[in-house]
Structure 1
Amino acid sequence: MYSNQEIVNIILPLVIVSGIVIFVIFRMVYKAKSGTLGRRESKKKQNILDSLIPLGMIAGFIFALILSLFPAVSMMHAIGMGPGIGLLFGYVGYEIYSRY
């Protein structure tokens, strides 16, 4: 039988990343419905704006792979949490870049 600590260690990354994903999706849907989604005047700047969220996820995954090389961090937790946190950082970058 699994102990309660092992169950929490398995479920916690899933809950955290799910919360981040739900937050980002609902914020983007709200911005799209209200018409305040970030738009840039040039195509190059718009492409940069549109690629911030996927680039954040890729950077989070790479950071998680590097972090999982250390024995204190489990590879499954790092790979699960890295892209989720990268999604949040990509969204924050999207919000900052869309204002300027």
Structure 2
Amino acid sequence: MGLALDFARAVLPLVIMGGISVFVILRMKHKYEDGTLGKKKTKGAQNLLDSLIPFGMMIGIAVAVLLSIFSAISLLSAMTWGPGIGFLFGYFAYEIYSKEDESHS
């Protein structure tokens, strides 16, 4: 029983974060094929839009490392959860920011 629990603790975060990654990649692929990716008028705004997902991953890893330092969460587990959650939040920020222009037009 202990071996199965240890295995589940090691594999479950990878499976969940893999599912999140596949979801985001398939949604972005669908948007690309439909031609509905976010477009901004200025180059600076477009660069910000394009960097939201990687920036979300960097914020996620930073928060995860800080949490692992100050709590009982292991660093290895934090290194899995942090970028995965940041990837998802970066995608949501991308969606919100890409639709912001349409509502003001």
TM over 0.5: yes
Per-residue CA shift, 1:25-75, capped at 9, x if unaligned?
000000000011000011111000001000000000000110111342011
Per-residue CA shift, 1:71-98, capped at 9, x if unaligned?
4201100011100110000000000000
Residue 20 of structure 1 aligns with which residue?
A: 20
Distance in 1, matches of 2:2 and 2:61, equals 29
TM-score (norm 1): 0.96
SS in 2 for 1:68: helix
**Runs of 4 or more off by more than 4 Å in structure 1?**
none
Distance in 2, matches of 1:71 and 1:29, equals 37
Instruction: Supply the AA of the counterpart residue of 1:77.
Output: S
Q: Which runs of 5+ in 1 are unaligned?
A: none
SS in 2 for 1:64: helix
Distance in 2, matches of 1:8 and 1:71, equals 21
Residue 36 of structure 1 aligns with which residue?
A: 36
- CA displacement at 1:2 relative to structure 2: 5.5
Distance in 2, matches of 1:70 and 1:11, equals 24
Residue 45 of structure 2 aligns with which residue?
A: 45
Q: Does 1:93 align with 2:93?
A: yes
Q: Which runs of 5+ in 2 are unaligned?
A: 101-105
Residue 3 of structure 2 aligns with which residue?
A: 3
Residue 103 of structure 2 aligns with which residue?
A: none
Q: How many residues align?
A: 100
State, as a whole percentage, how many aligned pairs show the same letter: 51
SS in 1 for 2:39: coil
TM-score (norm 2): 0.91
Distance in 2, matches of 1:35 and 1:96, equals 17
Could you say what the CA RMSD is over the residues aligned between the two structures, in angstroms?
1.2
Of Structure 1 and Structure 2, which has the larger fraction of its residues in helix?
2
